Amino acid sequence: MQFFGEMHKRVQHLIKENASTLLTAGGVVGTVTTAVLAGRAGFKAAVILEEHTHERVMADIDPDTSYEQALHHLDPLSKTDAVKLVGVHFLPPTLTCSATVASIIMANRMSAQKAAALAAAYGLAEGRLNEYKEKVAEKLSPTKNQQLEDELAQDQVDKTPGANQIIVVDGEVLCFDQPTGRYFRSTMENINKAVNATNAEILHHDYASATYFYEELGMPATTWTDDVGWNTDHLLDLKISTVMSEDNRPCIALDFKVLPKMDFIPKHY
């Protein structure tokens, strides 16, 4: 009994954790099932209506009238009578269609609730992190604070391989983007241009996604950069640290002073 009790709890936990996925899968299966059942019901209905019409014609036909003439003069079947004859065959696809629609709606609601919860958690973590950074900055002198930022950036660079795969062109230097953990090549001039262009976009349209900034740097977007950004509450501002890459090349490490937010698009949009 204890074994079955534990299995029941595990199954409940599995269903709860994957409810939106299961509902989405149910919506897909339900769509296909509804189409198949509707096709079968339509075929059966056509056969039943044809047989019923034949019976009516044979019941009213006389020896002097051909079958085609009797069929032509036959009164059309009313919608009510047609539903009575074949309506029961359309009950299964109707039920599966209703269940499919309900599954899709519930999956969408659950996904929206999870997204809202993640946004709230992200906002809370962002706020705590900013408070921690501000407190550290208060305790340390500007020189010590910059030294700490440089050491943290160096640690992240040391843990991220791939710098030796970036070819440095004349005039460009090796750069490391801390938020996304990617190496790229650029110049301080191009980086500043990307910051200015992003802030101009924010001031002009009230917001800009992180993807906009990375595209200005010539870097591809990620799923994270598509979902976060800045608005007029906080413009884009970078922290610049000078570190050494894994192959002992000078490297510029970039980080955001204020992390992009998930709910960056103003409510009136």
Determine the Cα–Cα distance for residues 188 and 177; give it in Å rounded to an integer.
13
Q: What are 152-200's pLDDT values in tens digits? A: 667 766 776 655 555 555 578 889 998 888 999 899 899 999 999 999 9
Determine the Cα–Cα distance for residues 93 and 240; give it in Å rounded to an integer.
62
Give the E-state strand segments of 33-179 in sequence order. 173-177
* Amino acid in position 44: K
What per-residue confidence (pLDDT) applies to 216?
94
pTM of the model: 0.50
Percent of the chain with pLDDT over 70: 62
Average pLDDT, the chain: 76
- Where is average pLDDT lowest: 4-13, 20-29, 82-91, 202-211? 4-13
Confidence band (pLDDT; 50, 70, 90) for 28? confident
What per-residue confidence (pLDDT) applies to 95?
83
DSSP state, residue 87: G
